[in-house]
Structure 1
Amino acid sequence: MSRRAALSAIGVGAAALTGCRALNESAPAARSGDGAAVLGNRASSPGNETMPWDDKKKVSDSTGQIQGYASKTSVGRGESIGFHISSHRAQTCTVSVHRVGGHGGSGTRLLLTGSPVAVRPRTRPVPEAGTGLIACDWPVSWTLRVPRSWVSGIYVAVFTARDGHRACTPFVVREPARRSDILMVVPFTTYQAYNVWPHDGRTGKNLYRGYSPEGVWGGFEDRAVKVSFDRPYSQSGAPHWFELDTSAARWAESAGHDITYASSLDLHEGRIDPSKYRVMMFSGHDEYWSADMRGCAERAVAAGTHLAFLTANNIYFHIRVEGSADGRPGRVVTCYKESPDPAPGPLGPTSRWRQLGADHEHAEQGLLGVQYNGILKKPVPLVVRESDHWFWSGTGLRDGDSIPDLVAVEADGFDPAMPRPAGTRQTLLSASPYADRLGRRRTQQNTSLCVDERGTIVFVAGTFYWPLALHDPQHVNQHVRRATHNLLSRMLERKRG
């Protein structure tokens, strides 16, 4: 079945393809009399998109009105995935499954709703001594066998309790046997690194912070060094910065791209053959990478597959992915950071990639061309450079023009003291000064594009807000849309020999 036919089969249809014509039209910047670009040139908003996991009847980790987690981060068509659900009291719950994508402007599509299942309070684990690991041992409440007619995508299981509370958990449906133009990789390892469940005033931990034994929300010394996928995501269940990935997926599908999806665990566990794709797109905050994940990305470039990183702070921490206590693989993310790692692998301990090896030989800039250089105090404009490059074609932007508030949260920049991709020609497409979050240090953000001798491209946006500018109603920007269209058009214009 073709991609378009498959999408139509689940109700997407031709409406998902309406973005192509608009993206081929020029979107020149408005200008003042002195020739400077006028800020705030935005595309029309995509409209109000329904988010089935958003609800006015809020769920809290303290009460746990209804929460659950998935047995896998991704599942193939025809395979099964289990959902482990707990409620604050014995009652019934229904599980509905939604796909995130273009879907004619609605943003999501309801695919099925299961029959009510009984749920009740489940035991909350205490952090493991020494590691802070919090792993639930809840039984499976509801099982989904994914229909073979469903296409690859970002899916969300929504748990709706009889008393009206609602929460969710995401997963990916994959099609690893099918070649597609683009493989979008969803950063589940980073989702889990930031997950602080249960943020209940006494228990929760992630790889950054946690509660002390006295129940005080502490700092680095109270963090976990291991986090488990066997627990819900905090509060409503939408992971931290999930909107980056959903915004990118909605834009890409609305633009009619041939796209399949994978989780970062699929890269780690060897389910991805990068030669099947013309582009591997990393759509969100993709900070935590194992050696196997990075090896997959490096094999992609060697095979002539382009890489597109749409945010910043990519491939920053080196991690191990380990099994659960009962032996299920891929359920624990381990990162000791500055603490001594008791079991370092061949590359070294689970610390920052740039700290591994001699002379920073494994620094992320060696693959990406730029690397993380700071957290912003507040959003600042992205300042354009190399405006005659094909990347900026049709935007009407000139050197020194700025796109408002596009550089935000975290930023990347080029560091001349670090390795850069060998045998490539690099173009820095922006040079955006910013102050760090304490206002004490000023540095520069760079959007980067590296091209090797065969024409294989590695692109890094270098800011968190790039995928939001593609589709999110509060951030959408025509210049970013056009530039990203130019990028993918160049990446997809020739088939490899």
Structure 2
Amino acid sequence: MGTQQIRRWESGALAHAVTDPFGQGPLPWLRGSENYFDSGRVVPWYVDPVLARDGAPVPLPRSCAGPRTADDVHRQIKGFAATGAVAPGEAIDFRITVDPPQQFSIDVYRIGHYAATGAAKITTSPRLSGIVQPAPLTADRTVSCHHWWLSWRLQIPEYWNVGAYVAVLTTEDGYRSHVPFTVRDDRPADLLLLLPDVTWQAYNLYPEDGRTGASLYHAWDEEGALLGEEDAAVTVSFDRPFAGAGLPLHVGHAYDFIRWAERYGYDLAYADARDLHAGRVDPSRYRGLVFPGHDEYWSVPMRQAAERARDSGTSLVFLSANTMYWQVELSPSPSGPDSLLTCRKRQGPGRPALWRELGRPEQELMGIQYAGRVPEPAPLVVRNGDHWLWEATGAHEGDELAGLVAGEADRYFPRTSLPEHTSRVLLAHSPYRDGEGVRRHQETSLYRAPSGALVFASGTFAWSPALDRPGHIDERIQRATANLLDRICKRD
């Protein structure tokens, strides 16, 4: 990067070469609620405080009464949940800093379809007294806020639905931030949705302050310039807010799938990747495990759990690309188990961190594996168009589904071993140009394991956004996904 300085509010998108619609994505899931007024116009709360007027972005004035997004320099309001996933009847603790000290409130929303609004408000905290918490602790680029005082304990009622939740933090003077969390249980269901909280944390650059923040990708030098992987953190902590608005970089992928799946009534249970790691997931309770978003970082117990699921007849559905690329370790911290994420990548001596370099390529589980970035979206080209996955989609052999190969792509590697299977098919073969202009290709894979389990891998970042992201919906992908899930859930 040299000495080029990246503005903190852009660094996440620019550093990872991921921009909308395949990074965090827009947040239309609270349309029509929590509005405020700007010059007589009603503006949804999730709109950033820069509005386009006559084609030019104009910041809202500080006197505006509406919410403004907190940042990591001034830390107007930032927070995190000490535990990512909780069950009904348990409590979740929020640790929040407010500067300057003032009252604040927390609105809790559940992500879902909800007649196209995308979320529903479930509860609101009482007025809470905000304090300026101590500065984050740093050691060898690991940033932790585990020493922050407890701000609010939310007891999850027994009657709450499992699902993906977002706590919206708002100060009295109108700054806001977010804290995602999951409510899970162990009841049997057709499908278990696994939210990729491990990968979310790997990308978290909090605090994006030009000084102390670090992720597994980046850190800052003394002049505020963004450094690359060779100088990034080796260990990151879950005990800290997410950078910027408080939502993970790739959170939109999961929310896109959730809105679509709940709209069509799929029987979903919810858990986090750390639940899979810790053995809190019993695959035998589900017909399929769904990995809805960018899920790049996997521990050994996570992979073993997925392999056991497949081998016992539970199907696996991977709806993104670059899945299970890095092998990681989770370890305890003063705040609890599995609170530290370590991945040395290529820093210093020691064993490699790529699954494929450790002799266990990801293709042996998924049927395809990561091939590279896709700088400009390209069409997904249908292959084996007479397969049941494409039935009633309107897609035929050789059809091009515009923009459906994007972000990153997977493909079949002929020299890499395949998993055991009784049948196997590639359902897309799509050419694209990489960052150097070299012609490459993406593939979508489906195989049936000897246990009868189906294992599907979309091989592209664009699959989940095509399900329910405004401006990117593709009815053919919606139908194909329904064909897959219906077969897994025995609806056919």
Give TM-score, length-normalised by structure 1: 0.85
Task: Report the 3-state secondary structure (helix = DSSP H, G, I; strand = E; otherwise coil) of the residue aligned with 1:458.
Answer: strand
Q: Distance in 2 between matches of 1:377 and 1:117?
A: 45
The aligned residue for residue 89 of structure 2 is 78
What is the Cα deviation at residue 123 of structure 1? Answer: 2.2
Q: Distance in 2 between matches of 1:175 and 1:354?
A: 33
1:89 to 97, 100, 123: 100
Query: Is this contact kept in 2: 1:96–1:159, CA < 8 A?
Result: yes
Query: Is this contact kept in 2: 1:46–1:471, CA < 8 A?
Result: no
What is the Cα deviation at residue 62 of structure 1? Answer: 1.2
Deviations 1:69-99, CA, capped at 9 Å, x for gaps: 0011100110001001011211011011110
Question: Are positions 1:183 and 2:192 aligned together?
Answer: yes
Which structure dedicates a bigger proportion of its chain to strand? 2
What is the Cα deviation at residue 351 of structure 1? Answer: 0.5
Q: Amino acid of the residue matched to residue 73 of structure 2?
A: S
Q: Amino acid of the residue matched to residue 69 of structure 1?
A: F
The aligned residue for residue 382 of structure 1 is 380
Question: Are positions 1:335 and 2:343 aligned together?
Answer: yes
The aligned residue for residue 411 of structure 2 is 413
What is the Cα deviation at residue 214 of structure 1? Answer: 4.0
Q: Distance in 2 between matches of 1:272 and 1:340?
A: 34
Question: Are positions 1:268 and 2:277 aligned together?
Answer: yes
Q: Distance in 1 between matches of 2:255 and 2:47?
A: 14
The aligned residue for residue 7 of structure 2 is none
Deviations 1:231-265, CA, capped at 9 Å, x for gaps: 10011111111110001000000010010100000
Deviating more after overlay: 110-119 vs 207-216: 207-216
The aligned residue for residue 248 of structure 1 is 257
Query: Is this contact kept in 1: 2:204–2:248, CA < 8 A?
Result: yes
Task: Report the 3-state secondary structure (helix = DSSP H, G, I; strand = E; otherwise coil) of the residue aligned with 1:455.
Answer: coil
Q: 1:257 to 1:364 in 2, by over 3 A?
A: same
Query: Is this contact kept in 1: 2:29–2:111, CA < 8 A?
Result: no
Question: Are positions 1:458 and 2:455 aligned together?
Answer: yes
Q: Distance in 2 between matches of 1:135 and 1:363?
A: 32
Question: Are positions 1:481 and 2:466 aligned together?
Answer: no
Question: RMSD between aligned alpha carbons?
Answer: 1.8
Deviating more after overlay: 333-342 vs 76-85: 333-342
Deviations 1:429-449, CA, capped at 9 Å, x for gaps: 00001111232x221100100
Q: Distance in 2 between matches of 1:54 and 1:145?
A: 30
The aligned residue for residue 151 of structure 2 is 141
The aligned residue for residue 372 of structure 1 is 370
The aligned residue for residue 289 of structure 1 is 298
Query: Is this contact kept in 1: 2:30–2:46, CA < 8 A?
Result: no
Q: Distance in 2 between matches of 1:54 and 1:334?
A: 35
What is the Cα deviation at residue 65 of structure 1? Answer: 1.0
Q: Distance in 2 between matches of 1:138 and 1:486?
A: 47
Q: 1:328 to 1:82 in 2, by over 3 A?
A: same
1:208 to 192, 213, 217: 217
Q: Distance in 1 between matches of 2:391 and 2:403?
A: 21
Higher relative contact order (CA 8 A, sep 6+): 1
Q: Distance in 1 between matches of 2:206 and 2:171?
A: 20
Q: Distance in 2 between matches of 1:231 and 1:46?
A: 24
Kindly report structure 1 stretches of 4+ aligned residues shifted beyond 4 Å.
Answer: 45-55
Q: 1:151 to 1:233 in 2, by over 3 A?
A: same
**Percent identity of paired positions between Structure 1 and Structure 2:** 41
Give the number of equivalent residue pairs.
436
What is the Cα deviation at residue 472 of structure 1? Answer: 0.5
Q: Distance in 2 between matches of 1:117 and 1:48?
A: 26
Q: Distance in 1 between matches of 2:261 and 2:32?
A: 16
1:162 to 151, 164, 172: 172
Q: Distance in 1 between matches of 2:403 and 2:119?
A: 27
Q: 1:52 to 1:366 in 2, by over 3 A?
A: farther
Give TM-score, length-normalised by structure 2: 0.86
Task: Report the 3-state secondary structure (helix = DSSP H, G, I; strand = E; otherwise coil) of the residue aligned with 2:317.
Answer: strand
Q: Distance in 2 between matches of 1:215 and 1:188?
A: 28
Question: Are positions 1:63 and 2:71 aligned together?
Answer: no
What is the Cα deviation at residue 184 of structure 1? Answer: 0.2
Q: Amino acid of the residue matched to residue 96 of structure 1?
A: D
Q: Amino acid of the residue matched to residue 315 of structure 1?
A: M
Question: Are positions 1:306 and 2:306 aligned together?
Answer: no
Query: Is this contact kept in 1: 2:425–2:445, CA < 8 A?
Result: yes
**Unaligned segments of structure 1, at least 5 residues:** 1-44, 343-348
Query: Is this contact kept in 1: 2:72–2:209, CA < 8 A?
Result: yes
Q: Distance in 2 between matches of 1:373 and 1:207?
A: 20
Q: 1:371 to 1:273 in 2, by over 3 A?
A: same
Q: Distance in 1 between matches of 2:215 and 2:422?
A: 37
Task: Report the 3-state secondary structure (helix = DSSP H, G, I; strand = E; otherwise coil) of the residue aligned with 2:464.
Answer: helix
Task: Report the 3-state secondary structure (helix = DSSP H, G, I; strand = E; otherwise coil) of the residue aligned with 2:346.
Answer: coil
